[in-house]
Amino acid sequence: MVIIILGSKSDLNLAKEIIKNLQFFKIEYRLHIASAHKNPEYVLGLLKKYEAEGKEKIYICVAGRSNALGGVVDAQILSPVINCPPYSEKFAGLDILSSLRMPSGICSMTVLEPEQAVLAAAKILALKDEEIRNRIKLYRKEYKDMMVRENGKLSESSII
């Protein structure tokens, strides 16, 4: 299972991309809006609830601007945490730096694209789930086949 936590409603577009990719891999997910800055108690309550379930899970945290969410989540749990911050033209994209540097002992990883964030989560879950592992193989095969088709179209065209 993947728990997606958004820092705010403005992160919903990126969450939709994450969900689309989770659905491809048929990975169960839950979606929440919970700001580590504005309502840390709510974030901690969510984590307590999910950690009490005992299921294997991965958290994907989506927060722009000053991303405390991934670090706060990682500091509270033992499950993997993936930051997937939305890109912003403001400050020339430098908001991402708050997702990259974490304090000592905190290791939320950062993956910039929603598709790759889900692939990272899928690969972790696939360590113990053969169905997800097989879907990753299918995903990779589809990309390989697409490249061969694109190459064939290029070879057949007159632009060379």
The torsion angles phi and psi of 125, rounded to 5 degrees, stand at -65, -30
DSSP bridge pairs for 110: 83
DSSP bridge pairs for 58: 2
At 99, list the tokens: 């997702």
CA distance 79 to 92: 32
**35 in a labelled binding site:** no
**38 in a labelled binding site:** yes
**8 in a labelled binding site:** yes
Nearest 10 degrees: CA dihedral of 30, 58, 82, 142?
Answer: -90
The answer to whether the CB of 84 falls within 8 A of the CB of 14 is yes
Q: Which residues are annotated as a binding site for substrate?
A: 8, 11, 38
Q: Which residues are annotated as a binding site?
A: 8, 11, 38
